[in-house]
Amino acid sequence: MTKFNPLSAAIGFAIVAGTMSLGATNAYAQDQEGEASEEQVLDAIVVTGSRIQSQTVTSSAPVTEIQREEFAINGASRVDDLVNQYPQLTPAFDSQSNNPSTGYATVSLRNLGAERTLTLVNGRRLPPGPTGELRDISIIPAALINRVDILTGGASAVYGSDAVAGVVNFMLDTEFEGFSVSAGYSAYQHNNDNAYMQELQRRRGFSFEDGNSGFDGAARNVDLAWGGRFAEGMGHAMAWVTYRENDPLFHGQRDYSSCALNAAGTACGGSATNATGNFYFYQAGRGVSASFNSAGRWQNSYGAPYNYAPPNYYQRPDERFTSGASVSYEVNEYFAPYFEAMMVNRKDSSQIAESGAFFTPLLGVSCANPILGTACSELGFNPAGTVDVYVARRNVEGGPRRSDTSDLSYRFVVGTKGALAGSWNYDASFLFARTQNDTQGFNDFLTSRIQNALLNCPAGSFAGCQFYNVWQPGGVTVAAANSLAGVSFNKTDTEMRVFNAYATGDAGFAFPTASDNIWAVVGVESRYEGYATVSDSNSAAGNFAGAGAAAPPVDGFTKVSELFAEAAIPLFAGDGLFKSLDADIGYRYSDYERSGGASTYKIGLTGEIGMVRPRFSYNRAIRAPGINDLFAQQRVTLFGGADPCAGATPTFTQAQCANTGVSAAQYGRVPGNPAQQNNQFTGGNPNLVPEEADTYTIGFVVQPIENLSVAIDYYDIKIDDTIAAIGASTILNFCATTGDPFLCSRIQRNPVSGDIWRGEGQFVRNTLDNFGELRARGIDLQSSYTFEALGGRFFTNFVGNFILEETSNPLPGVNDAAKFDCAGRINPSCQTSEWRHIASLRYSRDSWSVNLRWRHFGGLDYIGTNGARLTADTLVAARGGIDAQNYIDLSGSYAIADNIELNFGVNNIADKEPPLVGVNNALNANAPGGYDQTGRYIFSSINVKF
């Protein structure tokens, strides 16, 4: 696999091509000459990462800006479609996640998790969402964004908990004036010509798409906004309404995803729970895998795996309606009330393959029972004895499992701001937000019914029971299958209440070596978050066969009261080469009702030496445990990944597997789950305390010539006492290789067969606690250059990120051998390109413009968490990992009239497919996440403004 030096290449590109962005710039509160204009003197500037409102404040931490034009230029009608492409963020796209899926869009800086990235709108928090309390950014209308600020490094001293990796602040155009309406249409198109995947499917006898897909996965959107001033300019009001809908796209609509690859990537795999039935018989120490042959007789082997891929969504259907308003009125300089409101009503679905009997256990069944027919004798068991039978059969009669979700989320802010004495100003606000989620599931079997129906409805069976006759080919009826299915529901409500008040102003004095006074902020905040979820009784008890886990109720809240302060301190101002040195400091004390007090603080330095502006910042940040972290009920769930001691040729030796609980008699006979899923015991912990992080950034901005800016920043984020589970695969692997009793005590195998997946009595204990460390280190490179040529103006921009380290240590002080670094690696636990960038070149002239964009993902080495080169996924191993991936996008705009503009473009113009991997390395379909998944993306929009 070929590689290049990303830093030298990027620096060369940045200097020669002069790149970064009007789409991604470093935020400074001054104009290019460093002099405040007359208008700026009147309106103080707010910089993300500080509450100080002053003309002199600059950011000591890197802030990347995404400007509003970028959304239309790149065809992004959902905010995550563009924001999550930026290399500082994890490339996660909600619409193309299905199983598992959060169900809505989130943002995650430095791949440290959405729970460690504080998400704001106009500097204030978003409400917790229904899944893990992660913040849902689908409430944010892409058409009304003024800019997006991406702040690297902790910011808990300014904003409180969760700002460990940094902050993403969506700034809306609350000063919008006029009326605008825009409409857009987009779709995917792909040429199905993957010879490798088509040949694998021919061998299996599977059907697949071939040739041009036409337009599919289409999306439509309409956005309206209006606003203006009133009361002789003392007030301003604006409002918006948007509607967006996209069609589903299925795995079966792409030849490279219409069958599930096996772990090696060499064949179409699938599930042992198939359409005709697979069985495992056990009697007197002897186990036999069984199925029917073509003549309908029993045979001592499993039948063909079931191709569960085609009905899965590649893109989930989604319909959303957002609306909002903003009103402000300056009664006088001391009293200027304001109000903000925003709402989203979203409906979407997820869909996976059919439910069924997933190795449902029937214990102690007499071989003389008529339902077994001649099974015992044909399979070589004593016909006078009893057998344990595990039944696996797919509900092809009932159709795919589907989950329909409806969300209503709203957020209101009411407040006032104005002048205090002297240069001091105040801002006091109250925020109320709530999310209501309703989810219904269809076509899943109820486990409690399956056993009755398999045994031909003995006395005491459920009402309406019908014989689910899997014991004869073609014996199952539609009516019998339908009698086993149930409808699930889940309701989740979250609530957030925040009171925030602060004052900011000139402290009235300065250091004798400086020309500007010290500016400060003092304030208080009180925050309440509540979370409650309730399910139907079958879901709560884990009675749905294909749900993967029980969904017990969770009901709890967290409260915190906080004091905070900041200061911007000019230290030096001069006329020579060394022009200035400024410091910014901050402190916040947080008193959590459940975990007690915590302190966070920051210190930053910025300077100006000739054309160079160096900067440094240090932050102590925290993430407090969420309600699910504290109160989620402990239960058995599934985790993806193979049991290394399963199968006829286990990965580990007999001695290593003995550490995990496998007896000598079981070794080489432990049944493995063909779907690569096993049981884990998970849940919350009410004794959790906040995570603590130390974050550092150091770098500089240089402006060697007019309109050229280059920024290089190093960041280092280290998180201790992480709120996390160790990881079931980690426990298995390191118990086997080290025999550590702390780890091995967490594995509970089936005493008979040795497996950890057939029944809830066997699992890996993987509950939450405050242990573990995370560390993210890297270098950001950003640059921008604009110039006039060829009768128009060129805008070049570049944003790149080189990851030096992305380390997880789940067992510090217990077993440091579990520590692993994901930078530049792909394996079942990692998928992190060392180098990613976005580079674009835009030319604008008169009424039209054209934009060319290059998105790059660096190559990945197929190396395990222990540093060893892997070979299990032979498809990936054959090429030494995953080669670098490049995508070219082309778009343009044309102003038909002064108030009418057309935008159109094609992303991934080469129709590049995602890299294919085996099931253990795949996230959706047969690909890792983040890459362009479904082919060429074609978009268009029209905007009319009056």
Mean pLDDT in consecutive groups of 10 residues from the start of the chain, 946 residues: 42 37 39 38 64 72 91 92 94 82 90 95 93 92 93 90 94 94 97 97 93 96 96 95 96 96 92 93 93 93 92 94 96 96 95 94 95 94 95 94 95 96 94 96 94 95 96 95 95 97 94 93 97 93 83 92 96 93 96 92 95 96 94 86 92 96 96 86 91 96 94 96 90 90 93 90 92 95 96 96 95 81 94 96 96 97 91 94 97 94 97 95 90 96 94
Spell out the long-range contacts of 96-99 with Cβ–Cβ below 8 A and sequence spacing 24 or more: 96/314, 96/315, 96/316, 96/924, 96/929, 96/933, 96/934, 97/316, 97/923, 97/924, 97/929, 98/312, 98/313, 98/314, 98/316, 98/350, 98/351, 98/352, 98/924, 99/312, 99/350, 99/352, 99/924
Write the DSSP symbol of residue 868.
P
How many helices (H) and strands (E) the chain has is answered by 15, 47
Whole-number Å distance between alpha carbons of 585 and 35: 24
First-to-final CA distance of the chain: 54
Q: What backbone torsions phi and psi does residue 289 show, to the nearest 5 degrees? A: -85, 135
Whole-number Å distance between alpha carbons of 672 and 359: 12
Whole-number Å distance between alpha carbons of 381 and 284: 9
Task: Single out the residue of 253, 131, 876 nearest to residue 531, CA to CA.
Answer: 131
CA distances from 84 to 136, 188, 615 (A): 13, 19, 26
Whole-number Å distance between alpha carbons of 438 and 435: 10
**pTM, two decimal places:** 0.88
Q: Are 652 and 722 in contact (CB under 8 A)?
A: no
CA distances from 818 to 235, 659, 807 (A): 59, 16, 10
CA distances from 883 to 835, 864, 914 (A): 12, 17, 11
Q: Are 171 and 147 in contact (CB under 8 A)?
A: yes
Q: What backbone torsions phi and psi does residue 626 show, to the nearest 5 degrees? A: -85, 175
Instruction: Specify the pLDDT at position 742.
Output: 86
Instruction: Specify the pLDDT at position 55.
Output: 58
DSSP string computed for 144-190: GEEEEEEEES--HHHH-TT-SSEEEEEEE-TT--EEEEEEEEEEEE-
Q: What backbone torsions phi and psi does residue 227 show, to the nearest 5 degrees? A: -170, 165
Tell me which amino acid residue 502 is. Answer: Y
Write the DSSP symbol of residue 274.
B
Whole-number Å distance between alpha carbons of 850 and 293: 62
Task: Single out the residue of 389, 485, 383, 504 nearest to residue 441, CA to CA.
Answer: 485
Instruction: Specify the pLDDT at position 57.
Output: 59
Cβ-based neighbours of 161, under 8 Å, separated by 6 or more: 560, 590, 622, 623, 624, 690
Cβ-based neighbours of 457, under 8 Å, separated by 6 or more: 465, 466, 467
Exposure pattern of 573-592 as b/e (b: 16+ CB <10 Å)? Answer: beeeeeebbbbbbbbbebeb
Whole-number Å distance between alpha carbons of 774 and 822: 11
Q: Are 108 and 114 in contact (CB under 8 A)?
A: yes
Q: What backbone torsions phi and psi does residue 83 show, to the nearest 5 degrees? A: -60, -45
Checking phi first, is residue 721 left (phi over 0); if not, alpha (psi -120 to 50) or beta? left
Whole-number Å distance between alpha carbons of 914 and 794: 32
Domain ranges of the chain: 6-271+306-355+395-545+553-632+685-727+772-945, 633-684+728-765
Write the DSSP symbol of residue 109.
B
Instruction: Specify the pLDDT at position 542.
Output: 86
Whole-number Å distance between alpha carbons of 193 and 196: 9
Whole-number Å distance between alpha carbons of 731 and 829: 13
Instruction: Specify the pLDDT at position 45.
Output: 58
Q: Are 443 and 400 in contact (CB under 8 A)?
A: yes
Task: Single out the residue of 126, 797, 831 nearest to residue 496, CA to CA.
Answer: 126
CA distances from 428 to 123, 353, 416, 523, 563 (A): 13, 51, 6, 9, 14
Whole-number Å distance between alpha carbons of 514 and 569: 9
Whole-number Å distance between alpha carbons of 515 and 570: 8
Q: Are 292 and 301 in contact (CB under 8 A)?
A: no
The H-or-E segment that residue 591 falls in is strand 578-592
Q: Are 924 and 96 in contact (CB under 8 A)?
A: yes
Whole-number Å distance between alpha carbons of 262 and 676: 10
Q: Are 619 and 584 in contact (CB under 8 A)?
A: no
Exposure pattern of 15-49 as b/e (b: 16+ CB <10 Å)? Answer: eeebbbbbbbbbbbbeeeeeeeeeeeeeebbbbbb
Q: What is the 3-state secondary structure (H, E, C) of 739-804?
A: CCHHHHCCEECCCCCCCCCCCCCCEEECCCEECCEEEEEEEEEEEEEEEEECCEEEEEEEEEEEEE
Q: Are 307 and 250 in contact (CB under 8 A)?
A: no
Whole-number Å distance between alpha carbons of 223 and 323: 10
Whole-number Å distance between alpha carbons of 463 and 453: 11
The H-or-E segment that residue 6 falls in is helix 6-13
Whole-number Å distance between alpha carbons of 369 and 371: 6
Fold classification of 6-271+306-355+395-545+553-632+685-727+772-945 is Maltoporin; Chain A (2.40.170)
Cβ-based neighbours of 254, under 8 Å, separated by 6 or more: 190, 192, 209, 213, 314, 925, 934, 935
3-class SS shares of the chain: helix, strand, coil, % to 5? 15, 50, 40
CA distances from 318 to 649, 817, 834 (A): 44, 44, 33
Q: What backbone torsions phi and psi does residue 881 show, to the nearest 5 degrees? A: 135, -140
CA distances from 784 to 25, 537, 705 (A): 7, 57, 11
DSSP H helices in 325-428: 375-378
Whole-number Å distance between alpha carbons of 214 and 190: 7
ω into 552 cis (within 30 of 0):
no
